[in-house]
Every structure is written in structure tokens, then in C-alpha cells.
Amino acid sequence: MKTGAVTVYCIVNTHLISPAQRDRMWLTVLYSCTGGAALLYALYRWVIPAAVQYHGGLALIWHDVIVERMLDTLTQSTRPQRILDAVQKNATRGDPRSVVKAIDHFCRNKEWAMNVGDEKGCILDSVVSEVNPATVLELGTYCGYSTVRIASLLPPHAKLITLEFNPDFAAIARQVIAWAGLEDKVQLVEGASGDWIPKMKEQFGVKTFDLVFLDHWKNSYLPDTKLMEECSLLRKGSVLLADNVICPGAPDYLEFVRSSPRYKSQYFKSHLEYTKVEDGLEKSVFLG
């Protein structure tokens, strides 16, 4: 009885309110929805990104899991596809620096991505220029950002081989590299690094690498380094440059190259791409 009485009372009272009261009620609902939407947008666009700027774990969870999945669902596209779209809309075809600039602008102002980034990218550029390598191996292509940075600085007739395990990432990277006009300098290979490293000499005619850039799975840094040693792909003076050694981190790799008498290592302190979280690059010269 009590439930029925309440229902009848509510229905009767709905019909008893005046048109002006009904309009005010809908305006209140509209303002509440608008205010709620504005609050959610502010949280998404400014508040949460600012809050996670200084915390590595939270930054990765927010940007690389929550936001990426949400935008993938809303746009029915992937982050690499959105990066490619930004390149094709904003970068000049055949201009590697404009490609790098377009990706950096996209990642700083629209959507974070796991490139080496503009800050650490300058360190990468300086090491490439210092080594002036004739042969380069990149482990982890992703969308081709660091590939473009490296290839654009190589001397004529230099060879850059970049390995990418994910075929979807590789497909996007090929288009980014081509847009930069560097496809003739880069050989992109799909597959696992552990499978391809032993085939380097036979498949690509490489004796040793002057420079190796490690930016793939962090737990693969150490086994792949040892595998390169076993396959004699490192010569005296070969340089290993490893990204993200602090965040997400590669502690076993750092311990190995810093304690081994076969390497002379130097840490370049920086920040996780497009954040204020401490990260850095480890440069390790192979002593033979």
C-alpha cells in the first residue's frame, strides 16, 4: 500500500506543477549535466594529467592504459593511427624534422605516447652525431619517431636496421618513415629481437654495429645485449644507448653494464617522455 500511495502521489504532483516550474526543473537538470560534463572534461584534460606528471607509475597507467583505451573506443582508431594522422596533416613530406616536430606537438598537447620524446631525443641526437655510425641497430620501432631522428643524422651509405615485434606498429612506422623521406636509409624488420639478432650477419651482411639503440621491452635489454655479445655483433667502441632505464626501468641491465669490465657506462639524466618524471638514457661503450 505504501509503495502504491507514493507512486500515485508523485504522478499527481508531476501533473500539478506549472509550466514555469517544469521549465525551471529541466533547466536545473541541464545545468547539472553541463556542469558535470565540464568537470569531467577538466579532470581528463588538465587536473589528472597535472597530478600524474611527477609520478611514473600513475603517469603510465593514466596515459598508456586508461586514456589510450578510452580514445581507441571513442575514435575507433589506435594511438599509432592517430599519430600517423597528425604527421600527415601537420608535417611536410620529405622533411624529417617536421615529422619529429609534428609528433612532439601531438604528444605534448593532445595525446601522450611512448616515443623517446623531445627532451631525451636531443640526447639521442647528440650521441648519434658523436658516434657518426655506419651501422645502427634499433630495438623497438613503435611508430618510427626515434627511427626518423636517427636516420636523419646518419652519414651517406649508412645502414639502420630497426626491429619491431608488433606488426600493427610496424605498418604505421613504415608510413611515418616514408613520409619523412627516409625509407632508403631504413630497413624495418618485423619479429622478435631474440629471433633476429642471431640472423643479422647472414640476413643483412652486417659484421658489427657501431650504435645500438635499445627501446623495446625493458626485460629484454639484458638478454639481447648478451645475445649480441655471443653473436659478435659488438666491436671495441660499439655504443649501446638504452632508453627508459629508470622509468619503467631496467635494473638488471643497468647493474650489468655498470659492473661489467667490458663496458664503460654513463647516465644521462632526463625525464620520462612528455612528463616531469625522472628517467634517463644509459650510454655504454663496449670495450671488447
pLDDT, tens only, 62-73: 888 898 999 999
Range scoring the smallest mean pLDDT among 12-21, 236-245, 278-287: 12-21
* Confidence grade of residue 51 (pLDDT, cut at 50, 70, 90): confident
The residues assigned a catalytic role are 215, 218, 243-244, 273
Distances in whole angstroms, Cα of residue 256 to Cα of each of 73, 210, 283:
41, 20, 13
Q: Residue 220: which pLDDT band, with cuts at 50, 70 and 90?
A: very high
Least confident piece of the model among 12-16, 142-146, 190-194: 12-16
- What is the DSSP code string of 16-55? HS-HHHHHHHHHHHHHHHHHHHHHHHHIIIIIHHHHHTT-
Query: ∠ at Cα 107 (164, 82), nearest 5°?
Result: 65
DSSP 65: I
Q: What distances in angstroms separate CA 182 from CA 105, 148, 172, one per listed residue? A: 21, 7, 14
Distance CA 144, CA 166 (A): 12
The yes-or-no verdict on residue 139 having pLDDT over 60 is yes
**125 within 8 A of 148, measured Cβ to Cβ:** no
Q: Does residue 190 register a pLDDT over 50?
A: yes
